[in-house]
Structure 1
Amino acid sequence: MSVTEKLTSEIARNTFEKKVLSAIPHLHPYVKHRIYIAETTGILPKNMFSSNGIIDESIILLYDNDFDVDAEPLAVKLELFKIVDNYMNLLFKNEAYHKETISTDALLKKELSKLSEDYTVDGDFDFILNTELNDISYHQNDNETLQLYSDKETSILTAFEVEDLSTKQSPKVFDKLYNWLPFNVSNIMDLYIFGKLDFESIAKIKKIEQKRVEAIFDKVKRTFRRHIE
């Protein structure tokens, strides 16, 4: 039975709606950032998708799903993050043809195909994480310079515990991070940095063990710091 079908009284509808509305402010920074990265790396055409539109579609899916309407606000928030994450992953797969080169496009589609898996094979992330960020095999777009807004840079630096990155050095470092980091790995990083989710919540959303999420974050963090030294 769908959420809509379960909410038979006005009180129940209002109570559940408040839980949904309380989650939206947490979703927007994450969705906006993922759209921006996808646009800049050529996966999505610019200005075609908005965070409002994606979140609205995800809320509709939530109401169409079989979900516990009495769940705590945190559970509702995590369910919405899961729906949003799946929605965007499918969107990115479908829009991958906007990439400019055949070789890069094929690589990206291969990367994105992993997003639909349950991540039960340890080698998936081990292979990715053992690849240096400057490995050309993961270079998503040589000709596109990615420029993050200062508040986004600050969020990433805070998460990676970096305090002494110079203004001149900053653009080059972030260009490398998001143009060369595999998309499914940056997805996990952004859930933590911009979605403000802890490792346990991310593990639930991605259906992987928490220790693997922690290992991924630690590996990217150390690799990032090594590239700015």
Structure 2
Amino acid sequence: MAWQGLAAEFLQVPAVTRAYTTACVLTTAAVFQVWRLLTNFLFFGPLGFSFFFNMLFVFRYCRMLEEGSFRGRKADFVFMFLFGGVLMILLGFLGSLFFLGQALTAMLVYVWSRRSPQVRVNFFGLLTFQAPFLPWALMGFSMLLGNSILVDLLGIAVGHIYYFLEDVFPNQPGGKRLLLTPGFLKLLLDAPEEDPNYLPLPEEQPGQQQQ
């Protein structure tokens, strides 16, 4: 019964968060072909405290983004993953970083934190601070677990690039939105937009006859 309740709760999680979290767990459990470009974002090392620590942050902040600033915009959310993933792969090659799941987690946390600057975060009951400090606290804790600081810095850097291009630059004088979600993603993932000029025919009242 407990598993049924957990499954029902999990099915209520937004689609992108559910899919990404599930893929991370399956890849880590199976440890298959982790060198491939796609699976390097899904592998978080062997099962252990570090893995569950990362899964906690992936699930929580991916879900908060999808239910918050990306609500009703699945295509834009997936495009953020694609943009961040491509940029991380290119920059990761320069630093010989081949497992980038933790970097993607840092990117998600960074984007959420910059879009929620007034939110106060309780970090494992030890520290309380404003959301923009969370990526740096996460990096410090990750370092204590023996993980490479470069991976977190890569995720923070890519998260900042996305945030600047999506939230900052378009609002500057002469700025414009440079990250445009491809139309095919919107067609696949988003509900079709209603025509604002569409006017429904007036409903016929009971007992009323048309002239």
Pairwise same-fold verdict (TM > 0.5): no
Structure number with larger C-alpha Rg: 2
- Which TM-score applies when normalising by structure 2? 0.32
> Which has a greater percent of helix?
1
